[in-house]
Amino acid sequence: MGKGTWFILIYQKPFNKEIKNNEIQKGGVIVKILVTGGAGFIGSHVVELLLQDEHETIIVDNFSTGKKDVVPSQAKLVEMDINSPKMEKVFALEKPDVVIHLAAQVDVGTSIQNPVYDADQNILGTIRLLNYCKKYKVKKIIFSSSCAVYGETEDSSISESYPLKPLSFYGLSKYTSEMYIQLFKDLHEVPFTILRYANIYGPRQSSEGEGSVISIFFRKILVGEAPVIYGNGEQTRDFVYVKDIALATLMAINKGTNEIFNIGGNTKTSINELLANIASIASVQITPISMPAREGDIQHSRLNSTKAETFLGWQPSYDLLTGLSDTFNYYEAIMQSK
């Protein structure tokens, strides 16, 4: 019996899970899952779903951008850098079934200013984890890649086979990690699922990092400051609500093995349109500050996720206005509590 077959046998129950309104119903087989970067924006939502589904969840985070107050008490927390040699002890002790690898240097600008640091965190960090996955026979690594691997694309929806030509070292570090992951599978039989996330937004997003424009706009507006638009504002993005992303990540635990998926909404919203929507939700008039376009910024990004729909059974359930309203309520509540 091949490794993949065995994995499916021990983890077959969640195949039959009923998914309603983005909530996986309880009753799945309990699997031990190690989440790197579990105290971050996306990680905290992934961990919430894992616990809801009663998985044994271990978070490894160095809190470089993550926050302790988002870590639920039911999750085991290991405060550690993924590059620490002590990580091996975590694998030896916990023997996770699945690793969801979200920890990363996530800022495109930082990657351009400091490519060595970016590569150290994102490429070498991933290779170190892959070595432990091999040694401790992890049954799958789920990797958070990015639409940044494509670089500049046509102004249309692109599928996974689109040529990869990153415009930033961040995109290159994700691309390189993808290549290592695929070769680890070929040479050392470490199964994987690679998820290329679109631009994500939602509660708990910081103002730094990839795709943080919505968080920056809300924070500015709520303190009465004008947001900045880089370039002419006609650049377009495919925004996906974080709860949809967390669900796609969970669905990859037992489906889509050794495959790469775009996880996007197949939508295109310009930054000007986005700001108009945000102004309307927040009931304010906004005159943005114009700044020149930034190095490494992509003009258009829109992901076709048909493959994820077919293999994972995933599609986004939040439209932009619903997700933006939820996000606005979150930031407003935080401001009011201060």
Ligand X SMILES: NC(=O)c1ccc[n+]([C@@H]2O[C@H](COP(=O)([O-])OP(=O)(O)OC[C@H]3O[C@@H](n4cnc5c(N)ncnc54)[C@H](O)[C@@H]3O)[C@@H](O)[C@H]2O)c1
Q: What angle do CA 189, 194, 196 make, to 5 degrees?
A: 165
Q: Is 269 in the site for ligand X (CB under 6 A)?
A: no
Q: Which of residues 62 and 257 has its CB atom nearest to ligand X in the complex? A: 62
Q: How far is the CB of 223 from ligand X (least distance, A)?
A: 21
Q: How far is the CB of 32 from ligand X (least distance, A)?
A: 19
Binds ligand X (CB under 6 A): choice among 209, 264, 316, 323: 209
Q: What angle do CA 275, 105, 263 make, to 5 degrees?
A: 60
Start-to-end C-alpha separation, the chain: 58
Of the candidates 136, 171, 173, 162, the residue with the CA atom closest to the CA atom of residue 260: 162
Binds ligand X (CB under 6 A): choice among 62, 157, 236, 277: 62
Q: Which of residues 146 and 176 has its CB atom nearest to ligand X in the complex? A: 146
Which range touches ligand X (CB under 6 A), out of 198-206, 298-306, 307-315, 323-331?
A: 198-206
Q: Is 323 in the site for ligand X (CB under 6 A)?
A: no
Using CB under 6 A as the binding rule, the residues of this chain from 145 to 174 that contact ligand X are 146
Per-residue x/- mask for ligand X, residues 12 to 51, rule CB under 6 A? ------------------------xx-xxxxx--------
Q: Which of residues 214 and 275 has its CB atom nearest to ligand X in the complex? A: 214
304/333 Cα distance (integer angstroms): 34
Strands 259-263 and 19-20: unpaired
Q: Which residue has the tokens 């401790």?
A: 136
17/89 Cα distance (integer angstroms): 34
Q: Is 211 in the site for ligand X (CB under 6 A)?
A: yes
Task: With beta carbons less than 8 A apart as the criterion, state whether 199 and 239 touch.
Answer: yes
Binds ligand X (CB under 6 A): choice among 47, 82, 99, 320: 82
Q: Which residue has the tokens 């919203």?
A: 269
Q: Is 7 in the site for ligand X (CB under 6 A)?
A: no
Q: Which of residues 213 and 282 has its CB atom nearest to ligand X in the complex? A: 213
Active site residue 201: no
Q: How far is the CB of 187 from ligand X (least distance, A)?
A: 23
Q: Is 210 in the site for ligand X (CB under 6 A)?
A: yes
142/166 Cα distance (integer angstroms): 21
121/103 Cα distance (integer angstroms): 8
136/308 Cα distance (integer angstroms): 28
Q: Which residue has the tokens 């351009």?
A: 112
Which range touches ligand X (CB under 6 A), out of 22-30, 79-87, 226-234, 308-316?
A: 79-87
Strands 259-263 and 199-201: unpaired
Binding footprint of ligand X, residue count (CB under 6 A): 32
67/156 Cα distance (integer angstroms): 36
Q: Is 65 in the site for ligand X (CB under 6 A)?
A: yes
Binds ligand X (CB under 6 A): choice among 57, 110, 111, 121: 121
142/66 Cα distance (integer angstroms): 19
Active-site residue among 150, 170, 201, 331?
170
Catalytic positions are 170
Interface positions with ligand X (CB under 6 A): 36-37, 39-43, 60-66, 81-83, 102-104, 106, 121, 125, 144, 146, 197, 199-200, 206, 209-211
